[in-house]
Amino acid sequence: MKIYDLIGIGFGPSNIALAITLEEQKQSGYGIESFFIEKQPNFAWHANMLLDNAHMQVSFLKDLATMRNPSSHFTFINYLHQKNRLQDFINLKTFFPSRHEFNDYLTWAASHFDHCCAYGEEVIEVLPEKRGDEVALLRIRSRNREQVVHERLTRNLVISIGGQPRIPESFAPLKGDPRVFHSNNYLKEIKHHPHAKKIAVVGGGQSAAEIFMDLHHRYDKAQVDLIMRARAIKPSDDSPFVNEIFNTDFTDYVFNSSDQQRTEILNEFWHTNYAAPDLVLIEQIFNVFYRQKVAGIERHRFLRRHEVKQAVSQNDGIQFVLHDLNTEQDRTATYDAVVLATGYNRDYHKLLLAPILPYFGDMQVDRQYRLNSVAQFKPSVFLQGACESSHGLSDTLLSVTAVRTHEIAQALISASNQTTSAQLKRAMPSALAY
């Protein structure tokens, strides 16, 4: 069986950026043969959150390549040039393109790598391949839509699978109920509820805010309850000094800090990214409620400081027991559809790696995003987007992606040089002895 230098699980922005870096390294003479496996049938970037008015929250200059190599073919500016839109984009005078356009850019970039990406295959297992006492390779098992299982061998692995929908515990019993869905599936699911009269949106982050406004425009009359535990919707702080935490050199600072300092940094800046919609969006929501007051009609409700204590499936809807955290009172409300804009978990890689977890001890990563392993475990396993606790808040965002892939590529090249020289030593001991 063919042995790849690197297999990547997932083909979203992080692994596309890595494919680009490796391609450009090839032009400098470093050949890493890589292959990527993507669950979706074709490239799509959060397809179910491509709302009409949604735009990027990160500057287009933090694209797949510019921060690493501004003269790359794969910059957003070159994409615009190729599409004959560069001048029009300049006239837009924005750093924040629509998500539709950025998705198109990512699709364009991904299309250059169709020869080394299997779409529509879900990785189901990562198994160790032993040579004597050593784990020399990894066997990656994936299953396609026709349930056919594929196996591939690799010397190294990079996992870049994004987040998995976080479902609050009170909603666990409703799994499979089509009236309850996560923001991750919003556009796909909401179209099944054209006649909904009461809709709940749970959460107070960018997803909840975007979905609230989308529902407000999508329906003429439906009532939307925006339900969150916080006292207020707070904006993301993207002022320049704060934004420096997303600079690439800040990663060094976070990584080299003590555990306690790192926790303090994460806590201090948590709201730059989480539960923090754009100010403009917050103002739009406030405006909706203000206009309701002027008209004297209470269509939507803003249920701040409310927690969903219980959610029960009934014939006429999903009944919530809503706990008011201010008054400690409970009340009930019934909804035709419920959107859980409750964020994402980023620990699914542990499940994928279950058969080899014992080789990784406490699952710490080094500066180059590689899981520390015992000496007998030879492959390097890198994580992209799951190292926030060690590398800082930029880890789950586009901010450092281009530069991070350079760091991973360097680690791969030096690991592959070491392997080659070890193989040479084994193959030609006498030649090397001279």
User: Which contacts (CB < 8 Å, 24+ apart) does range 110-116 have?
Assistant: 110/11, 110/16, 110/43, 111/43, 112/20, 112/23, 112/74, 113/11, 113/16, 113/19, 113/23, 113/36, 116/19, 116/34, 116/35, 116/36
User: Which contacts (CB < 8 Å, 24+ apart) does range 258-264 have?
Assistant: 262/389, 262/390, 262/392
The reply on whether position 391 binds ligand NAP by CB under 6 A is no
State the angle between helix axes of 401-427 and 13-27 in degrees (0 to 180), rounded to the nearest 10. Answer: 50
Span of 76-84, 112-120, 227-235, 321-329 interacting with ligand NAP by CB under 6 A: 227-235
Nearer to ligand NAP, 273 or 405 (CB): 273
The CB-of-369 to ligand NAP minimum distance in angstroms stands at 19
The CB-of-311 to ligand NAP minimum distance in angstroms stands at 11
The reply on whether position 207 binds ligand NAP by CB under 6 A is yes
Interface with ligand NAP (CB under 6 A), residue total: 25
The reply on whether position 10 binds ligand NAP by CB under 6 A is no
The reply on whether position 317 binds ligand NAP by CB under 6 A is no
CA 154, CA 6: separation in Å to the nearest integer? 6
* CA angle, residues 13, 107, 143, in degrees to nearest 5: 70
| SS percent in the chain: helix, strand, coil, step 5 | 40, 25, 35
The reply on whether position 15 binds ligand NAP by CB under 6 A is no
Nearer to ligand NAP, 183 or 390 (CB): 183
Nearer to ligand NAP, 336 or 388 (CB): 388
What's the token pair of residue 200? Answer: 């709940």
The CB-of-217 to ligand NAP minimum distance in angstroms stands at 16
> Distance between the two ends of the chain, CA-based, in angstroms?
35
Nearer to ligand NAP, 247 or 373 (CB): 247
330-335 vs 317-324, strand pairing mode:
antiparallel
H or E element: which one contains 77?
A: helix 76-82
What's the token pair of residue 369? Answer: 């995003």
Which of 49, 65, 109, 386 is close enough to bind ligand NAP by CB under 6 A? 49
Please give the backbone phi and psi of residue 398, each rounded to the nearest 5 degrees, phi first.
-70, -20
The reply on whether position 401 binds ligand NAP by CB under 6 A is no
The CB-of-208 to ligand NAP minimum distance in angstroms stands at 6
The CB-of-167 to ligand NAP minimum distance in angstroms stands at 8
- Which of 60, 54, 58 is closest to 281 using CA atoms? 54
The CB-of-367 to ligand NAP minimum distance in angstroms stands at 23
The reply on whether position 341 binds ligand NAP by CB under 6 A is yes
Please give the backbone phi and psi of residue 273, each rounded to the nearest 5 degrees, phi first.
-125, -40
The reply on whether position 230 binds ligand NAP by CB under 6 A is yes
149-154 vs 134-144, strand pairing mode:
antiparallel
Nearer to ligand NAP, 54 or 65 (CB): 54
Query: What track of x and - describes contact with ligand NAP for positions 259 through 298 (by CB under 6 A)?
Result: --------------xxx-----------------------
The reply on whether position 393 binds ligand NAP by CB under 6 A is no
Looking at the DSSP assignment, which residues form a beta bridge with residue 4? 154
The CB-of-154 to ligand NAP minimum distance in angstroms stands at 30
The reply on whether position 229 binds ligand NAP by CB under 6 A is yes
- Which of 66, 80, 81, 83 is closest to 17 using CA atoms? 66
The reply on whether position 343 binds ligand NAP by CB under 6 A is yes
H or E element: which one contains 18?
A: helix 13-27
Span of 109-117, 242-250, 336-344, 348-356 interacting with ligand NAP by CB under 6 A: 336-344
* CA angle, residues 134, 139, 142, in degrees to nearest 5: 160
Which of 40, 57, 389, 410 is close enough to bind ligand NAP by CB under 6 A? 57
The reply on whether position 202 binds ligand NAP by CB under 6 A is yes
Nearer to ligand NAP, 68 or 99 (CB): 99
The reply on whether position 63 binds ligand NAP by CB under 6 A is no
What's the token pair of residue 275? Answer: 């539960």
Can you give the binding site for ligand NAP, defined by CB under 6 A?
49, 54, 56-57, 99, 166, 168, 183, 202-208, 210, 228-230, 273-275, 341-343
